[in-house]
Each structure stands twice: as C-alpha cells, then as structure tokens.
Structure 1
Amino acid sequence: MAGLLTLFFTLNAAAAPLTLTFAWPQNVGPLNPHLYTPNQMFAQSMVYEPLVKYDAKGGVTPWLAQRWTISADGKTYLFTLRHNVRFSNNEPFTAQAVVANFQAILANRSRHAWLELANRIDSVEAVDEDHVKLHLKSAYYPTLQELALPRPFRFIAPSQFVAGGTRNGIKQPIGTGPWILKESQLGESDLFVRNPHYWGTEPTYQQIRVKVIPDPVSRAMALESGDVDLLYGIDGVVLPDTFERLKQQGQYHIRLSSPMQTEMIAINSQHPPLNDLAVRQAINRAVDKQTLVATLLHHTEQPAATLFARNVPYANFPLSPYHYDPSAAAQQLEQAGWHLEKGQQWRTRQGQPLTLSLAYIGTDAVSKSLAEVIQGNLRHLGINLQLIAEEESSIYARQRNGQFDLIFNQSWGPPYDPHAFLSSMRAPSHADYQAQKGLPDKKIIDQEISQVLSSQNDSERQTLYKDILTRLHQDAIYLPLTYVPIMLIANRSLADFEFPPLSSDIPFEQMKPRSDVSP
C-alpha cells in the first residue's frame, strides 16, 4: 500500500504542469497588440514579438527580422524575416502578415500620434514572402528603437483581425511569442501556457499564472503565505517599508535593477509665481532628497540630480545639480523680492503670498508621503504648498490641460528615453509641454528636438541632446526626485536571471527553478 501511494503521488507530481505564480494589480486585458489600457504591456510582450529587440546598450538586435539594411537617406528600411516562424495557431508569419499588421496600426494612426514613428511611416510593402520594405516620409533615427517597443508595432495573426483591422478589437490574442493566454477570470487571475509552435527556445515553466492582487500590502502577504512566487515591476510592487522588512528577513531573493525611470515633479512655468526662474530654482534647492530616500523609500530608489540618469543614452555628461541648500534657496527668493516678514509664516511679494499647489493621485500612498515631505521642506522656506489629492483620471486631465502648479510626472524608461520622452514634450496633451509652455526658450527646445530626431549623424545628436537637456536643467522646469529601478522579490526556489533592458518586460521565458541550475 505504501508503495502504491508513493507511486500515486509521484505520477501526480510528474503530471502537474510546472507553474510560476506572479502577482499583478489587474487583469492583463484582451491583449490587443495595437492598443493601450487595459492591455498590460508585460503581457503583450509575452504573446507578441517585434521585428527587432532593444538591448542593454541602447541598440537593437535581430528578432523576427534576421537582418536589415537602411538606405543612404535614412528613409527606407529593408527587413529580411526569420524563416519558419509561425503564430501560435500555426498560421505562417510572412511579409504579408507584417504588412497587414502595419496597415492595421496606421489605420488608427491618430491613436498612435504620440509616437513619432507612427507619423513618419509613409508605406509598407511586401517584396516577397521573406522581405518587407518600410518607407518613411523623412529620416528618423530612432526607427529601430520604436519598432522594438511593447506596442504598437507587434504582430497578431491576421486571421484574428476584426473587420479587417484591430482598432475595433481582435478575435483572440494569437502571436508568435513564447506564451499563449489560455484563460482569464475577471478580478481573479490570468493563465498563460507555452506556445507549442514557438520558433525560439522553449521556456522552462509550462505555465505562468498571474494572480490579480490590487493592493501592495496584500501582494506581500500573498508572497509570504506562498500563494505567489514572484513580485516584480517598476512602480509600487510593494511599499518601501515592506520591501525593507522582507529584505531583513533574508528568506527571499531580492534585487533592484539599475535606474530605469526618473520620478519627478513638473513645474508649470505658465503659472505665476512659477514663471519666475528664481522660484523654480529655489524649489529645486529646498527638497532634501537624501533624507527622503533614506527614511521614506528605504533606499529602494536613488536620489535624482537631473532629468535622466547618466546611464540613459545621450545623457552621460555632467550637469551641475541643485544641491539641497535651504539657505541658498532662501537667499535666492529674497533677492527675487519674496520676503519673509518677521512674525509671518509665508513669503510675500508686493502683498501676494507665495502659495502653490501640488497635485497627486490620492490612492497612491507613496505619492502622498512624498508630497507631504516636499510640503514640509517648502514650509521651512516660507512657501505655502497646498496638496491636491484626486482620482487618477483627474490627475491625467490636469496634465493634459495644464491646470496645475506642480504635478507628479515620470520619464518612460528605455527605449523611450531620451528620444520619445523628449518628442512628447512638443505635444500639448502632455504635462511636459504644459509645464514648459512659459519658458522663453521653449521654441528653441522644440526646434532642437525635431532636429535631433531627424539627424543621421551621431555626433550632431550628442550636441543637440546636450543643449536640450542643459536648457531644461537650467530652466529648473523639473524637480527630479528619484531614479526608479525594477524591483524583484521572489521565493528562493526561483533561480537568478538578468533584468531585461525594457522596464515593461518580465522575462518569464528566462526563468527556471533553482534546482535546474548547475551548482
């Protein structure tokens, strides 16, 4: 009997699929590769693949395209596709499928206008089964980097189009990637299984279960109880104090990546008194980032000195930071006519108090804490900072219409930084445009952004990026707070793996149990 029971449990263990359970705040969505929210980027990247992949050095490597050539004028790209790639329903991946997907994307071009490549594409043609030619209206140096993005330039089987395209939805999320979305339970979980037709290396795990756990405290509890194996992401994975507690326990595999994005405050130069450079510079000198990072964030992020960290392409040059110096900030305000009269709490100029507002998402506990620390720092300087906590949709509306003094903002990370993030500064619907609109050199900044995006000369691009970033820094239009890494917290049973170069990607196909790793 004992032998039969042992055999029974052994057979059942062998039959059970090797599953990794991961926690995420919401369901992955319908996974239309060419649309945005509620589709989750990490899941889109599990199912759909690009022609080229972004690498850690800021360049690209072959993927669905084995190689490519670029015309001398930078306007034509000829891609040679990888042979014998099939979609997960066994449909062939061909040049015609690539063209159909590009046409579906361009049929909804206005939705993708934030991405400059979508505006630059003139046409796409299938030369033959294995070759695709991409024609641009004008040269655009980040073309390959934007083709590597998680969306929209990825490929779904054309048989899954609705009414000949994807703008109105898809039938099923059928891609060429290593994973297939097998089932979704709204508010509960999503299940991915291996793609049996995948052209690349087969993942070790047979299934990835994504449990929907909106609250960061509950996600940590699920890890500790063993309900999930992995917590991973760029923003709000767990609260900073929870991260520190789990780290001190020593029971989990915990890592932070190099800086991926910049958390910052955008300062609206259109609104008095923020149209005064002295006020913007004083704010930059008034916030104690070192203490903020140590006490509030528990060193899960790094203090930021500039708009981009030095590991961002074209940002590796020195800029003199605005060091924390309340005395210098106070002196600067005094010289600008903002006096703190004896017995008064707030500075005034010509009878007007120095009163500002900072808007943030009210349900974001970390943003609330950051806002309160900044409020306290500015109070010591005699600046009355009023906090406005609103719903996420209201904050995004303020970013679009410029109805803010100060507002939380974040760079986009690789491969968007610096080119795509700077490109968006020319779009009125972005907080960056609204914040910069009152700058005397806004026109020059926008002209140089347009120029750098079309430049075919790397030395010229370096010069232009340096001038753009120097102007923004000297204009003190941003208060850089922290450089944000990817956070990883996992069971000890999960083997180590490399962080991907895109913060939105989660490399499930590289993950394996620790027992599978040679000692």
Structure 2
Amino acid sequence: MNDLRFDRRGLLRGGAAVLGALTPASLLHAQPAAGSTLTIGIPGVPATMDPVNQINHDWMVTTQLIFENLIEFDIDGKLKPQLAAALPTISADGLTYDFTLRPGVTFSNGQPFTAEDVKYSFDYLLNPANRAARRPIFARITAVEVVDPLHVRFTLSEPYAPWLAFMTKCMGIFAKGSREANGPDFFRNAPVGVGTGPAIFEEWRANEYISLRRNPTYWNRGVPAWERLVVRQLPEDATRVAYIRSGQIDIMSSPPPRDFERLKTTNGLQGASRPTLGGWFAFYMDNTKAPFDDVNLRRAVSSAIDRDLIANRVYRGLLDPSAVSAPKSAWWYHAEADRAAGFDLDRAKRFMAASRHAGGAPIEVTIPATPYLLDVRDAALVVQSQLKAIGIDMKIKVMEFGPMIQSIIRGDEPASLWLQMSPGEPTYLLQNVLTPGQIVAKSTNYDSPAFRALLARAFAETDEAKLKPLYAEIQTLLAEDSPMVWIGFAHAANVWRSRVKDFTPNQGLTIDPRPVVLG
C-alpha cells in the first residue's frame, strides 16, 4: 500500500529527472523507418488483441484497425455503417434487426466476408463457455440468423436499442472457423489475417510497441494513407512529452494538463481537445461493505467533493465537472440532480452526522499508477484533503491499471477512483457498473429494482423527447442513493506534429488514425 501524502513538487521534480535521463540512444531505440510510418504514443499496458476481451480503451486503437463491426461510432459520436451497407431495419416491436452487408469485402487473408462470419463471431461472443469479457452487454441477443450471404438477422429477448452503439468499443467481426483453427493465444497475441480492417497485425514487442501494416486489399480504397503504424507504450507523462517534442512520435495521447497549453503552441506541434460524452471520472464504492453500506456516508462523500476545483486546478479544463452520470453538454443531463449531489460542505457535514460514522471513518481508495484518459494521482490528493474536512481519513493505494481493473472486476477493491470510457451514449456505463452480472458491477454491488426498471424503460425507447424525462428520473434516483460518486467527464486531448494532416481528436477518445496523411 502506498499513502500518497507527499509533496507534489517533489513528484514533479522526479518527472523532470525522468525527462533529463532520456538520452538520444534511448529515444531512438527500436524506432521504425521514417516517411510512411505513423507513430503514436499512449499510456497504459496492452493486455490482448482480441476485440471481445479488450478492455483498455487506449489500446483499442490497434484492435479497431484490425477488426471491424457492422456499424460504428464515428469521431463525432454518430452511428454510421461499416461492414453493413446501411443502418439496420428494426421491427416495430424492437426485437428484430436486419442488416444488409457491404459486398466485395474480404478478410486480409483473402477470404470473402459474408453473413456466416457475422453469425460465427456473435455466436462465439455469446457462448458462455468462451468467457468473453464483453458478452454481458450483448446477452439480450437470442439468435443470429443468416438469411443469405449478404443479409443477417438478429433477434433480441427484449427491446434493447443501445446495443448498436456498443459494437465499436466491444466487438469485432472475425473469419468463420478462425477460433478453432488458431486458438486463443493467436487472437490474444498475433491475430494475422482474420480481420477486415485497414491494418494487419505485424509485431508486438513487450513493453515497447505494437506495430501494424496497411492492408493492401482493404475495401475502402486509399485508406489508410500510411504504410505502417507503430503504437508505443509510454506510461510516464514526462516520457510522452519528450517523445513528441523530439519527433519520436507523431501523435500523443493523454497530454499532461499542466503541459497541454504549452505543447499545442510549440513550433512544429499542434493540439486540440473536445469534450467526450462517455469519459466517466468517478469514485466507486462497494455498497455492501462498511463504511460504504451507509447511504448517508456515500451522500456525504458526494457533497464534500469540489468538482470545479478539480476540473480547473488539477485538469486545467480537460475535465467537465458533473455530479451525475451525464456531462453538462449531453442532452440527457439533469441539472437539478447535479445540484442535489454536488459540492456543498455544510450538507456533507449534515449527512456525515446522520451516518453511523459521525465520529469519522477510515477508508482505503485504489487508484491507477499510470494515466488512463487522465492521470488520477493529483485529483486523488485533492479528494483526500476534501474528505478530511468531514472526518473521512482516506488512504490511497496505487496499482498498475491492468491488475487494478482485474481486481475491481473480481470485487476485491472496496473503493476506487478512476476513469473509464463508454461509447458516448447514456446507458452503457450505468448498466456495466450499476446492474448485477455486468463486467464491473462488483465495483459497487448496487442492486436497485427501481433503477433497473427505469433502465429497462430507457432500453425500449428511441424517442429522445421521451427518453429525457426517464434519464432525469434515473439521475434523481442515483443522486438520492449515491451508489457511486461522479466527479466529471474527461476531454479527448491530443498533441501531434505538423507533418500529421487530417487528424481530429475522437469524441469517443480512442485515437482514430485512419484518415491521417503524413506530410
């Protein structure tokens, strides 16, 4: 356990030391050839290349270039066809979805793409024996039927409109028979030839990079313009800054907020950010374990956190503060619920006094050691200080993100402070975190029949005008129950070199290098 009660300036001096220690030789180690190679630097540690088990949003930049989906969210958060020729036809009862597929598509090994591959991929995902991490959010699919080679039909057990939005992040189409022919290690480590995407897997060098090469038979001719993509594993902020400044990477993910303004005005560099609709930054609490089994303590935590201070002082505008499950920019945001759960120190003290822990409570909160969307460490120190004002003694435990998320999935972390990314629609993270049986449901162990009933009504509705009051009810209920505490929504922010043309930060946050042209 690490208690992060230290001098922050000392940490920054340590970061400067890391930067100073980077020699020219270390910067040039294992560099690809220049010219038509696009190089990206991101934090985090890749765990798999398998699209149905990929849970690290940053590293989806690799899997989404290899594996495609019937439809996708574009960088502006709009649904559009990908392997499908058009958006699906949906039955009046909301239970049947018919897709016409794009003709003339092949996998990168030359095998033609047909409806059989779609059925095969979803059948694999849905088979409980395969233990796909993403299975729970697609579990309402009861049948996938091949109507003809370019026509596939999905049948659902109940109306569930959001599932279309989850394909980009949580699914990929692979060739029929490829799982049996190659085995799990192939998909985890080196899936060559089994995707339809614009890139083909080339190499995974542990702790350094994953490289892909352009798919010469890709159905969307002329995409991508680069010949090779290298995605570098650069966990430390100072290292990513050094690499973008020295030209060793072309695009940088997760620029440190304290450096972002300076970097984007540096000669030879550009930068931009945009709000996301799905980048939750939240305090997760196991509602079944003391002291978080006390609703008044949970309410006290929510009211004690000054989100504006965190957004402006720590993240310098790269976080939109919000005490509810929606950013202020979202059409489903409910201001009254935000005010009810937001910062009010006097209210926090009243909730604390009404709890079973009026005399104070010690808690331990787990945070990731390296940035994922944003660096949590600075914010954790601020939250620690703010909770101390109401008698909560918060100790901070630091873990590497990979082991941490697995521990959270198992339910081994009573409290955690971290960010996760959804496709940018209202229900994905609500379902994943706050309904039993979902992938990170044990982070809260919240189980409310009233909440589940409201969510089911939202699943069955597609009219935004009717959905808005439903989401207001949901946010009001969650403000009252406080099963977790929202802090805000991360921005998608990138810095890139001037030779990179036609690049835009992705509203869904994962870097999309498909349109990039190198000057």
- Shared fold (TM-score, shorter chain, > 0.5): yes
Mean CA deviation greater in 368-377 or 302-311? 302-311
Question: What does 1:174-323 align with in structure 2 at a 5 Å threshold?
Answer: 174-202=194-222, 203-232=224-253, 237-247=254-264, 249=266, 251-259=268-276, 260-312=278-330, 314-315=332-333, 318-321=336-339, 322-323=341-342
Cα deviations across residues 133-155 of structure 1 (Å, max 9, x unaligned)?
22223332123223x32332x22
In 2, distance between residues paired with 1:313 and 1:116? 27
Q: Secondary structure at the match of 1:175?
A: coil
- Greater RCO structure (CA 8 Å; 6+ sep): 2
How many residues in Structure 1 have an aligned counterpart in Structure 2?
Answer: 476
Stretch moving more, 356-365 or 372-381 = 356-365
Distance 2:470 2:48 in 1: 41
Relative distance call for 1:16 and 1:448 in structure 2 (3 A) is: closer
Answer yes or no: is the 8 Å Cα contact 1:80–1:131 preserved in 2. Answer: yes
- Residues 389 and 137 of structure 1: is their aligned pair in 2 closer, same or farther, counting only changes over 3 Å? same
SS of the equivalent of 1:163 reads helix
1:85 aligns with 2:105: yes
The 1:265–1:166 alpha-carbon spacing in structure 2 relative to 1, beyond 3 Å, is same
> Which residue of structure 1 aligns with residue 498 of structure 2?
492
Distance 1:49 1:312 in 2: 27
Contact 2:415 2:443 in 1 (8 A): no
Deviations 1:393-438 (A, max 9, x none): 66446534555553214343224x422212222125665555363x
Q: Distance in 1 between matches of 2:47 and 2:402?
A: 19
2:147 partner SS: strand
- Paired with 2:438 and 2:51, the residues of 1 have a C-alpha distance of 23
Query: For residues 129 and 381 of structure 1, do their structure 2 counterparts lie closer, same or farther at Cα, with a shift above 3 Å needed?
Result: closer
- What's the offset of the Cα at 1:199? 1.4
Secondary structure at 1:389 match in 2: strand
What is the 5 A alignment of 1:85-484? 85-108=105-128, 111-112=131-132, 115-116=135-136, 118-146=138-166, 148-152=167-171, 154-158=172-176, 161-163=178-180, 167=184, 169-170=186-187, 172-202=192-222, 203-232=224-253, 237-247=254-264, 249=266, 251-259=268-276, 260-312=278-330, 314-315=332-333, 318-321=336-339, 322-334=341-353, 336=354, 349=358, 352-362=359-369, 366-392=375-401, 395-396=404-405, 399-400=408-409, 402=411, 404=413, 406-415=415-424, 417-424=425-432, 425-428=434-437, 432=441, 435=444, 437=446, 442-455=448-461, 460-484=466-490
Rounded to whole Å, the distance in 2 between the matches of 1:60 and 1:242 is 33
Letter in 2 for 1:419: T
Q: Which amino acid aligns with 1:256?
A: S
Residue number in structure 2 paired with 1:344: none
Give the 3-state SS of the residue equivalent to 2:111 in structure 1: coil
Between 424-433 and 17-26, report the one with greater CA deviation. Answer: 424-433
Task: Give the match's secondary structure for 2:514.
Answer: helix
Give the counterpart of 1:507 among 504, 508, 512.
Answer: 512
Alignment correspondent of 1:45 = 64
Q: 1:46 to 1:404 in 2, by over 3 A?
A: closer
Tell me the CA shift for residue 371 of structure 1: 1.9
Q: By how many angstroms is 1:488 displaced? A: 0.5
Output one character per residue of 1:3-27: Cα deviation in whole Å (capped at 9) or x when no partner. Answer: xxxxxxxxxxxx9752222123467
- Structure 2-normalised TM-score? 0.80
TM-score by length of 1: 0.80
Which residues of structure 2 form unaligned runs of 5+? 1-32
Question: Unaligned 5+ residue runs, structure 1?
Answer: 1-14, 339-347
C-alpha displacement of 1:263: 0.5
Give the Cα separation in 2 of the matches to 1:445 and 1:126: 36
Over 3 Å counting, the alpha-carbon distance change for 1:404 and 1:447 in structure 2 is: same
Listed one character per residue, the Cα deviations across residues 148-182 of structure 1 (whole Å, up to 9, x for unaligned) are 32332x222336x1425865644624322111223
2:273 and 2:38 mapped to 1: Cα distance? 20
Structure index of larger Rg: 1
Contact 1:360 1:388 in 2 (8 A): yes
Question: Closer, same or farther in 2 for the Cα pair 1:502/1:166, shift >3 Å?
Answer: farther
CA contact 1:284–1:476 (8 Å) conserved in 2? yes
Over the matched positions of the two proteins, sequence identity in percent amounts to: 23
